[in-house]
Amino acid sequence: MKTFRKSFIKKKPLGKASAKETFRESFIKVKLLGKASAKETFRESFIKAQSAMEYLMTYGWAILIIAVVLGALFELGVFNANNFAPKAPPGACQVFRPNGPGTTSFINLEGICTGEIPQYVSQFSSGSIQLPNFAQLYSNSFSWSLWIEPLSWGANNNGVMGQGNNPCGPGCAYMIEQGSPTSPILQFSIDGGAGGYSAYSPISLNIWQNIVGTYNYSSGTIAIYKNGELIQSATSNAVARITGPMYLGFMTRTSTPYYNGSISNVQIYNTSFSANDIQALYLEGIGGAPINLQNLVAWYPLDGNANDYSGNGNNGVPTNVIFVSNWYSSYTPP
């Protein structure tokens, strides 16, 4: 018994000491191992961060240059969806009159007439397009539609479309011109010798917009629409008269007669359009075909030339007008 007790006492303290020692050694090892792992993790993170910085230093300028170039291309409209849209070549769509100019039997559209935007538009600064004398509009209702992108207004009334007589007086059938020398306002006027009257629309610079004017002979009412919406109307006893040729981009009655900007898709009709007709014209877009062939007098897409594609042979004569293809960036389809 004594021998067992002594052996037990010797073993028990030894067991406690061993347990404490073992715990101490394990704690030290874990602690040291933890410190080593933390140092190693920090070292690896530092190396990765240093590699990332070296990558940015190596390729950062290239990435910056690419970003600047892409931004410039977006600003220039290179990525504009209109650049990739199909373009209608000159004369792609036209009115066919089997019985000749001025007839209305069996007329129809021929060619690509599904609203593709034109390949070209006409650009004016010191030029004009002379149109025929539209005698069929005298003492009659009429409507006109055109797409314009004015670049600037002059110090006096710039002529967008109208008669070239000077002075304009009682012979002026109608005029589309700058209505104010200080603000961009478009004016649709009739002066038939019994008192002139006008309707006005604010106009934007450097952007394409559809302008429609309509004149009702029986009521004596004129109205001007912008992008399918009525802007203003007026009523008078004046009667539209035609005594000379019409012009696009020019009007001799003013001291600054030339229009500065672009024009596309001019349509002239010998009837007064309703609000629904005008909305339909706008929704067709800048490449839209005429909506009323029976009353169509002239159609000038101005897609590379000044020809009349109404089938009535009312071709225009351009002077100092250029036809440009890089016009899409300022146009937004309806």
- Which residues, 6+ apart, have CB-to-CB distance to 207 below 8 Å? 149, 330, 332
Whether residue 152 is found in the same domain as residue 170: yes
Which residues form the domain of 64?
1-79
**CA proximity to 182, closest of 205, 154, 202:** 154
CATH code, domain carrying 205: 2.60.120.200
Does the pLDDT value for residue 60 go beyond 90? Answer: no
- Which residues, 6+ apart, have CB-to-CB distance to 99 below 8 Å? 105, 106
Distance CA 93, CA 116 (A): 10
Provide mean pLDDT across the span 257-281.
Answer: 94
Whether residue 101 is found in the same domain as residue 32: no
How far, in Å, are 28, 63, 187, 202, 275 from residue 226 at the CA level?
86, 44, 12, 9, 11
Whether residue 71 is found in the same domain as residue 89: no
Confidence (pTM): 0.75
Does the pLDDT value for residue 11 go beyond 50? Answer: no
DSSP 81: G
Task: Identify whether the C-beta of residue 294 lies closer than 8 Å to the C-beta of residue 181.
Answer: no
> How confident is residue 4, by pLDDT bands cut at 50, 70 and 90?
very low
Whether residue 135 is found in the same domain as residue 263: yes
Whether residue 161 is found in the same domain as residue 294: yes
Last residue of one domain, picked from the residues 46, 79, 112: 79
Say what the pLDDT of residue 195 is: 53
Whether residue 89 is found in the same domain as residue 74: no
User: Residue 19: what are its φ and ψ, rounded to 5°?
Assistant: -65, -45
Look at the chain and report how many structural domains it folds into: 2
Q: Which range (60-74, 108-122, 175-189) has the least confidence?
A: 60-74
pLDDT, tens digit, 9 for 90 and up, residues 101-154:
999 999 999 999 998 999 999 999 989 999 988 877 777 888 999 999 999 876
Most confident of 47-56, 139-148, 317-326: 317-326
Whether residue 12 is found in the same domain as residue 46: yes
Whether residue 48 is found in the same domain as residue 155: no
Provide mean pLDDT across the span 67-87.
Answer: 62
**CA proximity to 137, closest of 154, 161, 119:** 161
pLDDT, tens digit, 9 for 90 and up, residues 209-239:
999 999 898 888 889 999 999 999 988 766 6
**Angle CA(94)–CA(100)–CA(104) in degrees, nearest 5?**
75
Q: State how far Cα 7 lies from the chain centre.
A: 103
Tokens (6 digits) for 279: 């909305």
Whether residue 55 is found in the same domain as residue 92: no
Say what the pLDDT of residue 30 is: 47
User: How many of the other CB atoms lie within 10 Å of CB of 228?
Assistant: 16
**CA proximity to 213, closest of 252, 249, 173, 242:** 173
Whether residue 179 is found in the same domain as residue 269: yes
Provide mean pLDDT across the span 158-185.
Answer: 64
Tokens (6 digits) for 157: 């009334």
Whether residue 114 is found in the same domain as residue 64: no
User: How many of the other CB atoms lie within 10 Å of CB of 258?
Assistant: 17
246: β partners: 131, 163
Whether residue 67 is found in the same domain as residue 23: yes
Last residue of one domain, picked from the residues 79, 95, 125: 79
The string of DSSP letters for 107-158 reads -EEEE--S-PEES-EEEESS-EEEE---GGGTTS-EEEEEEEEEEE--SS--
Provide mean pLDDT across the span 253-274.
Answer: 87
User: Residue 64: what are its φ and ψ, rounded to 5°?
Assistant: -65, -45
Last residue of one domain, picked from the residues 30, 53, 79: 79
> How confident is residue 247, by pLDDT bands cut at 50, 70 and 90?
confident
